[in-house]
Amino acid sequence: MTIEYEKYDGLGLASLIKNGEVSPVELIESAITRIEELNPSLNAVIHKMYDSAQESLKNLDKSLPFAGVPILLKNAQQEVKGHPMTLGSKILSNYISDVDAEYVTRLKKTGTIILGQTNVPEFALLAVTEPRHYGPTRNPWNLNHTPGGSSGGSAAAVASGMVPMAGGNDGGGSIRIPAAFTGLFGLKPTRGRTPVGPGKGRAWQGASVDHILSKSVRDSAAMLDETHGYERTAAFHAPEFIGSYLNLVNSPLERNLKIAFTCESPLGTPVHAECKKAVLQTVKSLEDMGFEIEEKEPRIDGNRLAESYMTMYFGEVAAALANTGEIIGRKVTMKDVEPVTWLLNQLGNKVTAGEFVQAMQMWDHSAIEMEAFHEEYTFYITPATAYPPSRIGELDQTGGEKMLMKAVGMLNAGGLLKKTGFVDELATKSLERTPFTQLANLSGQPAISLPLHLTEDNLPCGVQVMAARGREDLLFRLAGDLEKSSLWIRR
């Protein structure tokens, strides 16, 4: 190829194919070459699907919006028939999907060519991608740092130019956190906007939604145009959208809109100066553009919200291991999974029905409060994360924590831990570096991470923007405005 493959976004590559400047075969060969060159250093791709990709090229419809464009899928929820779905865990090493996920079915109909699956933390549980089974994924901006999680492999793949976009899902920030750490655009759509089936009606009780991480705003908008819509078996359905998200990217917003922002953590924990700087320079730019800016937070108890999130988190892990046991034909044991996964499982098995219902009530309370908040403020801006990307291994458990987790696992002492206050400490430690993203998952709102700041260490630091449920259109228009600004990171 004579073009510089890695500099194009997805729609740009599709345009080259439509215009006859490159062939789909050449494009896929370029993507494979780049993956093979970079993956040994980044460890972003853990399963390659080159043979099936070549088969997909044989009947390619070049009229499709992303015809011939290479894409990678996340090794969680985005199942492809005939290929593994390990969720980053050795216990599922032999599991092969027998059906395409509905989201993958819709992706295929866009003309994209799937080249493989990307790395995730075990069971996609953490905000860093360092599974024991596959090893850590590294950030293309600095190989000593994490690209975040749980869609960390996808983020590293896109940021390094392996592919222009990659699949992700977001149940507590798993699209937005990696996007923030790697200088990408990341949208978590409204609950129910994209499909979760077949075989299930919800993902993480409605907290988790599938979409992509991308270089450009327009790729994200165009892909949502193609993948959103009613799913008959889904438990939740987003407000109907009629029109084209892509057409809105270049439609400037009215300048009289009110925007609220905060730099303070909802947990009352510290926020790094670089993350605050990212927000403050963004709102200053928006104010200069004519928007009305006010420092304001919604009336939501951040610690209670975090507790409700962790209650779901514990329960989902316990259910995931129980379901895994059905797949492998025996109960999952402590030796089968990582210590953190087993601890979360132990805690999940001690959550009562009453506690779970109260957690869901807190989600509903937050959703109602945010609907009222957005009646006055069109957007709510926060840091995407409270800290820049951590170093690989920096967040590993201490020796004492490892001993405690081992003891809890051996003694089945999850209930005792709940009584000691350890769970509250675990919630704070788990979320203190990423306390801003969970709100949108629990309230069901759309939220984006925008690449608007580089730290003094030359690491990306994202800015989060939330809008009312069903208003991805507003987020795409704001993102389109900011993508043209000098703040936007251009690697």
3-state SS string for 118-187:
ECCCHHHCCCCCCCCCCCCCCECCECCECCCCCCHHHHHHHHCCCCCEEEEEECCCCCHHHHHHHCCEEE
Give pTM, 2 decimals: 0.97
Are the C-beta atoms of 358 and 308 separated by less than 8 Å?
yes
Distance from C-alpha of 297 to C-alpha of 280, rounded to nearest angstrom: 15
User: What is the three-class DSSP state of 48?
Assistant: strand
Confidence (pLDDT) at 167: 98
The predicted-structure confidence for 17-46, as pLDDT tens digits, reads as follows 999 999 999 999 999 999 999 999 999 999
Cis peptide before 266 (omega within 30 of 0): no
pLDDT category at 1 given cuts 50, 70, 90 is low
Amino acid of residue 246: L
CA distances from 118 to 124, 145, 166, 384, 403 (A): 11, 17, 8, 22, 31
Which residue, 126, 70, 123, is CA-closest to 92? 123
Confidence (pLDDT) at 454: 98
Helix intervals (H) in 59-139: 102-108
Segment 50-77 mean pLDDT:
97
Give just the sign of the alpha carbon dihedral 279, 280, 283, 285: negative
Which residue, 300, 424, 308, is CA-closest to 359? 308
Residues 6 or more apart in contact with residue 490 via CB below 8 angstroms = none
Tokens of 22: 């490159």
pLDDT category at 410 given cuts 50, 70, 90 is confident
Task: Judge whether residue 337 has pLDDT over 90.
Answer: yes
Segment 336-349 mean pLDDT:
94
Residue bearing tokens 């978590």: 188
Laid out side by side, the sheet with 165-170 consists of 45-48, 113-118, 70-74, 165-170, 209-214, 185-188, 447-450, 463-466, 379-383, 258-261, 292-295
Q: How far is CA 456 from the centre of its chain?
A: 25
The predicted-structure confidence for 244-279, as pLDDT tens digits, reads as follows 999 999 999 999 999 999 999 999 999 999 999 999
Confidence (pLDDT) at 403: 73
User: What is the three-class DSSP state of 80?
Assistant: coil
Maximum CA extent, the chain = 66
What residue spans define the domains of the chain? 5-256, 302-364+396-431
Confidence (pLDDT) at 116: 98
pLDDT category at 427 given cuts 50, 70, 90 is confident
Segment 359-369 mean pLDDT:
98
Tokens of 460: 């990306």
Segment 69-87 mean pLDDT:
98
Enclosing H/E stretch for 460: none
Tokens of 141: 């901006």
C-beta atoms surrounding 376 within 10 Å: 10
Tokens of 335: 């030796």
Cis peptide before 285 (omega within 30 of 0): no
Active site residues: 74, 150, 174
Confidence (pLDDT) at 396: 86
Tokens of 483: 């993508």
Task: Judge whether residue 411 has pLDDT over 90.
Answer: no
Tokens of 13: 């590559």
The rounded mean pLDDT for the chain is: 95
Confidence (pLDDT) at 5: 95
Which residue, 150, 224, 214, 220, is CA-closest to 441? 150
Segment 321-345 mean pLDDT:
96
Distance from C-alpha of 137 to C-alpha of 145, rounded to nearest angstrom: 9
CATH code for the domain defined by 5-256: 3.90.1300.10
The predicted-structure confidence for 476-486, as pLDDT tens digits, reads as follows 999 999 999 99
Residue bearing tokens 């975040």: 148
Confidence (pLDDT) at 2: 59
Are the C-beta atoms of 144 and 392 separated by less than 8 Å?
yes
Segment 211-223 mean pLDDT:
98
282: left (phi > 0), else alpha (psi -120 to 50), else beta?
alpha
Range of lowest pLDDT (248-262, 361-375, 415-429, 445-459): 415-429
Question: At 269, phi and psi to the nearest 5?
Answer: -95, 165
Segment 280-298 mean pLDDT:
97
Distance from C-alpha of 58 to C-alpha of 55, rounded to nearest angstrom: 6
